[in-house]
Amino acid sequence: LYYRAWLTAHGIPVHQGATLSHINGEQRVTGIHWDQQEIACDAVAFAHALRSETQLADLLGCEFAWNALNRAWLPQQDAAGRSSVAGVYLAGDGAGIMGADA
């Protein structure tokens, strides 16, 4: 939220949910088109958002539940980090994206 607010405060537009139709340029990017809009630019960046690395929990058979905030299936855990599998504790990015405070 902080970074989104910073961009807005500095007049930088953020377009969410846009569907890119094509990128202009042959040897270098010169612009992009999306959803009936066009803008000149010299670089393009793509992101699929920050996602938890949950493969180990999945391989160990931990139960998962949908997390609406992260828009992802995350392994279930209690307040102490215990998963649904006896003896398996979850921490860090494997348990969910919670930032430096976690």
pLDDT in tens, 7-34: 999 999 888 888 899 999 999 999 999 9
pLDDT in tens, 54-68: 999 999 999 999 988
| CA within 13 Å, CB half, 63 | 9
Over range 68-81, report the average pLDDT. Answer: 90
Question: Would you state the pLDDT for residue 71?
Answer: 81
Give domain limits for the chain.
Answer: 2-40, 55-94
Whether the model clears a pTM of 0.85, i.e. scores above it, the answer is no
